[in-house]
Amino acid sequence: MDDVKDEKPSKKAYEVDFKVHSDEQIRAAQQMQIEEVSSILGLPVEQCAILLRFFKWQKDRLIEKYMDTPDEVLEDAGLGPGYEAPAVLEKLKGFSCEICCDDERGLDTYAMKCGHRYCADCYRQYIESKIKDEGEASRIECPAEGCSRIVGSKTIDLLVPSEINHR
């Protein structure tokens, strides 16, 4: 027999090399990835950030799927047609909010492009709650059950006070 020793790995199977990154390092790496995807896909940075979060930061998978079916990818991520339209409050005659049941005359209402309309106060409370509880403003979905349309930054700017928005 040869004088070959069975060399065992110096680490156990569950021991893994890792490096701890600071919040700033993580944000910088994410921003670089967002800008890279933006330059490749030719989309605004905000949309690329939403797409990367939707694809769980799997950049190659996002690019591949987007190149095959861009409209489907945008729609699935809640960025379908009309995502970038300006956010506007409206007063509608005979409106009744499905969340709070308020039907007061002159009530400010808001609807995203998906058409789900609620009073501005309910939308505001919903968005503020999502930002405070989940710490995420880039993946907030429409409050309607089953709707995956993403609440855009223009909507957040319109409805949420700046001190909460900057979280």
Q: For the chain, which residues make up each domain, given as ranges?
A: 23-76, 90-165
Q: Please, where are the H alpha helices in 4-161?
A: 23-41, 45-54, 59-68, 70-76, 120-134, 153-159
- What are φ and ψ of residue 118, in 5° steps? -140, 170
* Predicted local distance difference test score (pLDDT) of residue 146: 87
Distance CA(48)–CA(45), nearest Å, equals 5
pLDDT of 37-55, one tens digit each? 999 999 999 889 889 988 9
Using DSSP's 3-state secondary structure scheme, residue 75 falls into helix
What is residue 54's predicted lDDT score, i.e. its pLDDT? 86
Q: What is the model's pLDDT at position 104?
A: 86
Please give the Cα distance from 116 to 82 (Å, whole number).
14
For each successive 10 residues of the chain (167 residues), what is the average pLDDT? Answer: 59 83 92 96 90 91 95 83 73 89 88 87 90 78 85 80 62
Which of 40, 62, 41, 61 has its CA nearest to residue 51? 62
State whether residue 51 is helix, strand or coil.
helix
106 and 119 in contact (C-beta within 8 Å)?
A: no
Is 52:62 a contact under the CB 8 Å cutoff?
yes
Residue 40 has a pLDDT of 95
The answer to whether 26 touches 20, Cβ cutoff 8 Å, is: no
Q: Can you give the pLDDT at residue 39?
A: 96
pLDDT score recorded for residue 121: 92
Query: Which amino acid would we find at residue 69?
Result: T
pLDDT at 122: 92
Map tokens 């002159």 to a residue.
106
CATH architecture of 90-165: 2-Layer Sandwich (3.30)
